[in-house]
C-alpha cells in the first residue's frame, strides 16, 4: 500500500479499511468442536458403570471378551482382571451398559455360565463357541458396585413370574436342585433348593412355570416320582415312572384331585406335603386315627374299603403311648369324608375258613383290608375299631323280631332263618335279657318274606341234627338243611290251611309277649284262631324260640301272599 502511494501520489488514495468479519474457514473448527463436544457428551451419557465382581476362579474369563449376559442380551464386558492380594480370589472389573445402573443392587447375583452336560440336557452350549459368560439375576437393596460371584446358579427369584411354593417332606430322597416337577408327564417346573426347617423336615423350594402355575390348586398333592416304583401283588404287577429324566435326576409330580371351579389356585409361598408315591397322594384326605386292640394283619398301605371300593389307606401303625393298643393312622379320601361320623364302625377283614365255607378269600391275595359301616352322628376323627365284623354289615330294612329262648344253643349272628327250608332271614345278634333270665335273639326277616311272620308263628331251633331213637318207633333223624346242621339256624312255621289249627292257649300267650302292647296281641291272639292266618307281626315283636317243633307245626300250610 505505501508503494502505491509513492508511485501514484496524484491519484486519490483508496479508503483503507481493516478487513472486516471473520474468514468462513473458521466454521471448520467450530464444526469440529461441535462434533467433539457431542462425542464427549455422548460418551458421558453412555458411560458404562464399572463394577467389581469377586470370583473364586477366573477360569474362562478374558479381559475385554467375557461378557455379562442377562436374558441373552449382553449388558457388560469384563474390563480387567486382577488377583486379590492374598491370591484367594479374582477381582473382575466389569463395565456395564448404563441401563444396568438400576439393577446393580445389593442382592444382585452373578455367576459364570459354562457348558454343562447332565441328564437334564446340555446347557450353555453356546459358550463353547463364544466362551463362558457371566450372567446375573437382578436383586433388590441399595445400589452396590462390589459383588461376590456365586459358584452355582442361584434359585429362580421369588418375583419371577410363575409360582413359588414349598414342599415339606421327611426326607429329600433322590431329589436334587434342578429336578423336574411334572404334571401329567409334562415338565412344569423345577426344584430350586432345599433346606431343613426347625422341625427337622426338609423344605423344598419349587418353582412352577407361569404357564402351568394355574394347574396347582390349594388341594394339589405332590409326590415323589424319582426312579422307578415297582408294585407287585398276585393280582398284578405295576411299574411306574414319570419321565426318563425323573428316573435319573429325580423328580416330583403333582395331581389335583378337585379340578373344578371351586378349587382355589395356589399362591406364592404355599406349602404342600410331599408324598412318597402317587398312591399315597391319591389317597390323601382326612387323617383319621383307628384304635385297634391288635395290629395283626394291618400294615402301612393296608387299604380301607367301603362296599369293596378303596377309600383310603393306612399310613402308619404304631403302639399307643401306653402300649395298651395299636394306633393306626389312616387317610380317607376327601370325597368320602361323610362316612367318618360318630357311630361309624371299622374292623379288619381277614380271610376266614370255616366249616360253612371260606369267606373273604380275596384278602389272601390282596391282603387284609379295613372296612367300615358308616354311622349317622357328628363328624369324628378318632374311632375305636371293632375286633370283628359287627353283627350286621348293613342296616337291614326287613322285619325285625326278637326271639326269646331259655338258652342260646348254637345260635349266633348271621345264622339263617328258614321257612320251609328256604332262607328268609338272618340272626342279627344275640344278647341276654336285662334280667338275665333268657337269651334274646334279634332276627331280621327279609322284606319279601315279612308277611310270613304272623303273630301266631312258631319258631324253633334247627341247629344240629335231631336224632330221636325209640325202641318201638324206630330212629328218626330230623334236619333242616346241611348248613343248618353245621352252623345252626332257626326255622319257623305259621298256622293255616289245610291243617286245622288247634292252638294251645299256652302258645298263644307266648305271642302276647309282644312289647308294643298287650291289647294288640290280645287281638292277635284271638285272630290266630281264625282261618285266614293271624295278623302280620310288627317290628320288635317277641316270640318264643322252642328247642324243637311240634309235629303239627310242620303240617301247617298257610296260604300267604308274599310281599315285594
User: Footprint of another protein on this chain (CB under 8 A)?
Assistant: 3-4, 7-8, 11, 14, 23, 25-26, 28-29, 31-33, 35-36, 39, 64-65, 129-130
Q: Report the nearest approach of another protein to the CB of residue 40 (Å).
A: 9
Cell of 500: 286245622
Least gap, CB of 47 to another protein (angstroms) = 13
Instruction: Tell me whether residue 130 or residue 555 sits nearer to another protein (CB atom).
Output: 130
CA separation, residue 81 to residues 62, 84, 152, 479, 554 (Å) = 8, 10, 20, 106, 113
CB atoms within 10 A of CB 172: 17
Q: Residue 232: left if φ>0, alpha if ψ -120 to 50, beta else—which one?
A: beta
Nearer to another protein, 61 or 441 (CB): 61
Nearer to another protein, 39 or 364 (CB): 39
Tell me the closest approach of the beta carbon of residue 46 to another protein, in angstroms. 12
Do the Cβ atoms of 402 and 430 come closer than 8 Å?
no
To the nearest whole angstrom, how small is the minimum distance from the Cβ of residue 8 to another protein? 7
What's the Cα-to-Cα distance from 185 to each of 173, 251, 428, rounded to whole Å?
A: 20, 11, 51
Q: Which of 435, 460, 480 is nearest to 543 (CA)?
A: 460
Residue carrying C-alpha cell 416304583: 229
Q: 130 or 497, CB closer to another protein?
A: 130
C-alpha 6 chain-centroid distance: 123
CB closer to another protein out of 31 and 358: 31
Among residues 87, 80, 85, the alpha carbon closest in space to that of 53 is found at 80
How, if at all, do strands 458-461 and 541-546 pair?
parallel
The CB-of-207 to another protein minimum distance in angstroms stands at 31
Which residue, 16 or 309, has its beta carbon nearer to another protein? 16
As measured in angstroms, the least distance from the Cβ of 48 to another protein is 13
Phi, psi of 365 (to 5 degrees): -90, -50
Which residues are registered as beta bridge partners of 82? 91
Output 11 or 500, the one with its CB closest to another protein.
Answer: 11
Torsions phi, psi of 35, nearest 5?
Answer: -60, -45
Sign of CA dihedral 338, 328, 308, 401: negative
Q: Cell triple for residue 481?
A: 338243611
CB of 257 to another protein, least distance (A): 50
C-alpha cell at 521: 296281641
Asked whether the bond before 498 is cis by omega within 30 degrees of 0, the reply is yes
Shortest reach from residue 92's CB to another protein, in Å: 18
Nearest by Cα to 158 from 181, 140, 135: 140
In angstroms, give the least distance from the CB of 134 to another protein: 15
Residue 65 or 106: which CB sits closer to another protein?
65
Amino acid at each position: 500500500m505505501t508503494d502505491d502511494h509513492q508511485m501514484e501520489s496524484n491519484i486519490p488514495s483508496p479508503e483503507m479499511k481493516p478487513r472486516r468479519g471473520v474468514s468462513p474457514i473458521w466454521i471448520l473448527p467450530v464444526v469440529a468442536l461441535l462434533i467433539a463436544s457431542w462425542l464427549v457428551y455422548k460418551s458421558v451419557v453412555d458411560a458404562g458403570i464399572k463394577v467389581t465382581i469377586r470370583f473364586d476362579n477366573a477360569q474362562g474369563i478374558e479381559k475385554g471378551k467375557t461378557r455379562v449376559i442377562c436374558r441373552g442380551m449382553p449388558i457388560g464386558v469384563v474390563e480387567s482382571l486382577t488377583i486379590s492380594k492374598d491370591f484367594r480370589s479374582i477381582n473382575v472389573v466389569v463395565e456395564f451398559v448404563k441401563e444396568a445402573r438400576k439393577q446393580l443392587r445389593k442382592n444382585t447375583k452373578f455367576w459364570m455360565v459354562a457348558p454343562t452336560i447332565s441328564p437334564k440336557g446340555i446347557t450353555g452350549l453356546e459358550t463353547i463357541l463364544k466362551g463362558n459368560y457371566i450372567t446375573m439375576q437382578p436383586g433388590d437393596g441399595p445400589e452396590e458396585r462390589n459383588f461376590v460371584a456365586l459358584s452355582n446358579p442361584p434359585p429362580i427369584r421369588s418375583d419371577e413370574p410363575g409360582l413359588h411354593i414349598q414342599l415339606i417332606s421327611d426326607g429329600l430322597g433322590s431329589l436334587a436342585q434342578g429336578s423336574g416337577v411334572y404334571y401329567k408327564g409334562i415338565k412344569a417346573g423345577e426344584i430350586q433348593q432345599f433346606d431343613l426347617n426347625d422341625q427337622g423336615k426338609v423344605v423344598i423350594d419349587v418353582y412352577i412355570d407361569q404357564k402351568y402355575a394355574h394347574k396347582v390348586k390349594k388341594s394339589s398333592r405332590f409326590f415323589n416320582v424319582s426312579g422307578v416304583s415297582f408294585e407287585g401283588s398276585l393280582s398284578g404287577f405295576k411299574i411306574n415312572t414319570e419321565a426318563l429324566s425323573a428316573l435319573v435326576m429325580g423328580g416330583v409330580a403333582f395331581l389335583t384331585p378337585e379340578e373344578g371351579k371351586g378349587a382355589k389356585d395356589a399362591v406364592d409361598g404355599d406349602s404342600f406335603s410331599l408324598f412318597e408315591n402317587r398312591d399315597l397322594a391319591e389317597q390323601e384326605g382326612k387323617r383319621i386315627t383307628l384304635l385297634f386292640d391288635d395290629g395283626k394283619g394291618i400294615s402301612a398301605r393296608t387299604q380301607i374299603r367301603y362296599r369293596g371300593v378303596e377309600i383310603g389307606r393306612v399310613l402308619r401303625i404304631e403302639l399307643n403311648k401306653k402300649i395298651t393298643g395299636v394306633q393306626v393312622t389312616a387317610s380317607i379320601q376327601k370325597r368320602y369324608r361323610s362316612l367318618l361320623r360318630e357311630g361309624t364302625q371299622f374292623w379288619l377283614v381277614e380271610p376266614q375258613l370255616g366249616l360253612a365255607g371260606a369267606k373273604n378269600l380275596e384278602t389272601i391275595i390282596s391282603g387284609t383290608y379295613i372296612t367300615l359301616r358308616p354311622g349317622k352322628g357328628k363328624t369324628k376323627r378318632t374311632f375305636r375299631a371293632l375286633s370283628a365284623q359287627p353283627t350286621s354289615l348293613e342296616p337291614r330294612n326287613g322285619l325285625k323280631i326278637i326271639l326269646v329262648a331259655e338258652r342260646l344253643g348254637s345260635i349266633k349272628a348271621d345264622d339263617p332263618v328258614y321257612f320251609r327250608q328256604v332262607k328268609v332271614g338272618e340272626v342279627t345278634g344275640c344278647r341276654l335279657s336285662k334280667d338275665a333270665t333268657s337269651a334274646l335273639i334279634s332276627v331280621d326277616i327279609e322284606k319279601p318274606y315279612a308277611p310270613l311272620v304272623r303273630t301266631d308263628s312258631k319258631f324253633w331251633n334247627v341247629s344240629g341234627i335231631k336224632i330221636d331213637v325209640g325202641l318201638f318207633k324206630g330212629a328218626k333223624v330230623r334236619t333242616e338243611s346241611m348248613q343248618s346242621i353245621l352252623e345252626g339256624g332257626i326255622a319257623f312255621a305259621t298256622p293255616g290251611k289245610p291243617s286245622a289249627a288247634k292252638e294251645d292257649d299256652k302258645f298263644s300267650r307266648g305271642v302276647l309277649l309282644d312289647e308294643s302292647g298287650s291289647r294288640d296281641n290280645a287281638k292277635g291272639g284271638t285272630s290266630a284262631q281264625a282261618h285266614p292266618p293271624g295278623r302280620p307281626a310288627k317290628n320288635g315283636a317277641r316270640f318264643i324260640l322252642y328247642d324243637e317243633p311240634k309235629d303239627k307245626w310242620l303240617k301247617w300250610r298257610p296260604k300267604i301272599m308274599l310281599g315285594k
